[in-house]
Chains A and B, each alone.
Chain A
Amino acid sequence: MSVDYSKEIPLVQGRLTMAELDEAIAKPMSIRPGKIYFIALAFTSGLLLLGVLGVSLTFYFGIGEWGNNQPVAWGWGITNFVFWVGIAHAGTLISAILYLLRQKWRTGISRFAEAMTIFAVMCAGIFPIIHTGRPWLAGYLLPYPNSHHLWPNFISPLVWDVFAVSTYLIVSAIFWYVGLIPDFATLRDRAVSKIKKFVYSLFSLGWRHSNRHWRHYEKVYMILAGLATPLVLSVHTVVSFDFAVAVLPGWHSTIFPPYFVAGAIFSGFAMVVTALVFMRKVLGLENVITIDHLDRMNKIILLTGSMVGYAYLMEFFISWYSGVPTEQYVAINRAFGEYAWGYWIMVTCNSLFPQLFWFRKFRRSIPAMFIVVVLVNVGMWFERFIIIASSLHRDFLPSSWGYFTPTWVDFSILLGSFGLFFTLVLLFSRTLPVVTMSEIKGVVEGAHPTHHGGDHDG
């Protein structure tokens, strides 16, 4: 197979005009969704209801409904939290970091990925709060002058988490909304029905596509991208501090921050690909979200997957090199102890299967990539579970050893979080433009002045 790498691949296939692009992107919002959509929505909201049931039971009877107990006190609650925060990272990476790196191909998928970021952070935020057992007292985590005259412990990584995750949610939402303003204006001017026009006018804030606004807008977009880039790296770093700052063998390791960030991007990209494979087909956006996009994303999955694999090996090396017997015990116990089954699922899914993406054939084959990214999602969930359970279940005293067994409530809440996530994704796909209209129009061929007619004489 010979590919010409000297020519730039067009970002939008099929030579669509701007009007056709608008039409293609706005179409899912104006037509009545088909039967499959409603079946999918019924399924995901069914899962969501299951999760609501599990959470209600937890609220009423307490945290004892879960499998957590000493010594594995963190269980699935924190596993799911770290998993969903990780998923969130792909959106910001695509929308902010790739923007700063001038990767124009990001335009086709950035809106969708950002939406997934927000939904995933929402899913993630639920877990630490319900894990406290008394979620209605979570307000005490914020520093406000309360009647107890107490302030949060600002040097605790768990309070860092509160700041990092809530800042991340707010900044992601702002970033997303700033991108949506011009699209709301375009939708407003396309709208026929009065209600739609009112709603779009409300959210477009009266945007006029004025160039006197665009020049600030572009600057703001760059500033927000610049702010979001270190932010996204900090969020999973702070999440990894929850572990790394503790003095527990298997957690107390300086490799955790980069290892967690790489893992987050890895799992997030896998989730974006999982969803995009369906969305581009169902919404008829194959020319905008092309196979080239998926190909590029799979390359990033390959890269970050290999970084994660390196971290797995490095954990062994460091535990040997440290000379600390408990560290060595935990490392060996992780791979060959009671949780060996989970460890090897994690290694296989995260480090071996993505290696298939070295081959162009697998990178561009929808079924192959779908299988791999689903396995990556499974593997990354197991990674968090293994880090938590295998480090905790062997306490320093053998009398305190234990084994974590989840209850059906644990399962229902995990499935419920998937239900929440995909319900929001499905609703989003029919209510908001899945592709940034104002950006995608800027990358079609002939969108900018030529050298002769344009402004490049200076």
Chain B
Amino acid sequence: MADNNLYCVSALFDTPDKIINAARKTTEAGYKKFDVNTPYPVHGMDKAMGMGQSKIGYITLFFGLSGAVFIFLFMWWTFASNYNIVVGGKPFLSAPAFIPITFETTVLFAAISTFVGMIAVFFKLPHNSHPLHDTEYMKAVSGDKFGLVIEADDEQFERNKVTEFLKSLGAFQVADVYLPEKETYKLFTSGFVIFLIILAIVTSAATYITLNKLMYVVPFSWMEVQPKLNAQEESDIFTDGKGMRPPVDGTVARGELPYPFYGQTNPPEVLSNPTVPTKKILELGKRKFLTFCSPCHGNFAQGESRLNGQFPTGPTLVSGKIINYPDGMIYHIITNGQNVMPSYMHQINREERWAIVDYVRVLQRAQNPSQSDIQEVKKESSSNVTK
């Protein structure tokens, strides 16, 4: 094998005394790129190899403190700012109660960062393709021997000189270690492609089953499966096959009284307006009129509505015929319905219906004012001007 493939010259020693002596001599001889491999850390080796203290503690310190600051600010933000939870009337920023979690997170960050830093940054592991692997040398230092290698990259490296030097240190075995030949692999071998396909199928199937089936299996069903009947559901418990029970005949809903004149055409005289047209009642009547009546009868009850042409036009409510109706008649028509107009008994309650009647009267008077009404309005507007 060519010499430029040489990685290092390795030497094996059998006692700790010999290896520490060898390491010291190698350092003294001025070699820089050498390493000592021992099955366990040997006392004093760092000094013999001319190495100082490990600096890895700074990683621990930095990330540990970062963890502490981060989690404290995080708890402060969630607890005192983002979503306040009152617990026993304590202050939102209760620092003493934050101590346990701050401590645990400090340790967690410090430990993980130290571990990852050691493996990835300081050791550059995993590195299973290193030239020393799978050599007799590595097998020996893994067990009970002590080894020293001088790398070919070292400035002073001369193969024969180094071999002689290592032998003179008392090594019982000196051997050359070569770089492994470059191996190339085809990425898409048939086995790998099949593996990818199987992986894709298994992953999709597992995802599908989890999201569509497993999440609805009984204990995990998120309370979606419940032994009850919903309003419009079918059910074979009842003979009519409905899940919903109709109320018993003659049931009166809360706040509603039965309307005794339903279906009659002539309004009885007994229906008299119980309301007094106060401002409050008129405003209620206006609101309900605009909601329920104006679509057909128009905003001012003139029969010109926004449904014009799409639906039979509602008649005007401000003509003489309606003006002459008693209050009870208008109330009866709202409650009972007339021609194509349906009953509004269930949409509008009694008080609101009477309020609508009052409001219709207001609209009628506003569009057919008497002489005294006009004078009254003029008087009011002129008094407004002089003010």
Contact = CB atoms under 8 A, between A and B. Distances in A.
Q: Do the two chains belong together in a single complex?
A: yes
Contacts of B122: 213, 216
Contacts of B312: none
B276 interface: no
A160 B101 contact: yes
Interface in B33-69: 35-49, 51, 53-54, 56-57, 60, 64
Contacts of B98: 154-155
B115 A143 contact: no
A377 to B, nearest CB: 28
Interface in A134-148: 136, 143
Given A17-B144, A174-B112, A153 B46 contact: no
Given A449-B16, A454-B17, A220 B105 contact: no
B143 interface: yes
Interface string B1-45: 000000000000001111011011000000000011111111111
Interface string A424-454: 0000000000000111011000111110111
B325 interface: no
A174 B18 CA distance: 34
A171 B107 CA distance: 8
Contact of A186 (B110, B114, B142): B142
A219 B107 contact: no
B184 interface: no
Interface stretch (B78-86, B267-275, B296-304): B78-86
Contacts of A449: 16-17, 20, 42-44
B278 interface: no
Contacts of B17: 449-450, 452-454
Nearest to A149: B83
B44 A215 contact: no
A66 B384 CA distance: 82
A207 B39 CA distance: 11
A116 interface: no
Contact of B45 (A202, A214, A231): A214
Interface of B: 15-18, 20-21, 23-24, 35-49, 51, 53-54, 56-57, 60, 64, 74-75, 78-79, 82-83, 85, 87, 90, 94, 97-98, 100-101, 103-105, 107-108, 110-112, 114-115, 118-119, 122-123, 125-130, 132-133, 138-139, 141-144, 218-220
Given A223-B114, A453-B16, 9 more contacts: A174-B112, A189-B139, A209-B138, A212-B51, A216-B54, A217-B118, A234-B107, A441-B144, A442-B40
Interface of A: 17-19, 22, 59-60, 136, 143, 149-151, 153-157, 159-160, 163-164, 167, 170-171, 174-175, 177-178, 182, 185-186, 188-190, 201-202, 205-220, 223-224, 227-228, 230-231, 234, 238, 241, 437-439, 441-442, 446-450, 452-456, 458
8 contacts: A19-B143, A153-B87, A175-B111, A188-B142, A208-B37, A210-B36, A455-B44, A455-B47
3 A-B pairs with least C-beta separation = A455-B44, A453-B17, A18-B144
